[in-house]
Amino acid sequence: MAKLIPAAERIVRARKLIQQAHDLPVPEGMGRKDFSYIANVKDLLRQAKDMVKFISMTPTATMEMKADVKRIYEEMEEAERKILYES
């Protein structure tokens, strides 16, 4: 049986995944257009989304947790835009 991760820990882990996406080194050659680089960034951001996507639907989620989840979604969108589309 899988171990349940508390919501607060999921939020922390999601932020770490977003930071890992920022920290991925841009490959030489094609740079940000390298398909494996794009796939790795999107995979890390997907993992972050999967960490928090059900928190706001749980009955034990506080308003602060729901606000944190909303901020994480915004951070993910901003990270994808900065990492993949801005020079």
**Does residue 49 contact residue 40 with C-beta atoms inside 8 Å?**
no
How many whole angstroms separate alpha carbon 51 and alpha carbon 54? 8
pLDDT digits (tens, 9 = 90+) for 22-68: 999 999 888 888 999 999 999 999 999 999 999 999 888 899 999 99
Q: Could you please report the per-residue DSSP string of 1-15?
A: -PPP--HHHHHHHHH
Q: Is the pTM of this model over 0.85?
A: yes
Q: What is the mean pLDDT of residues 72-76?
A: 96
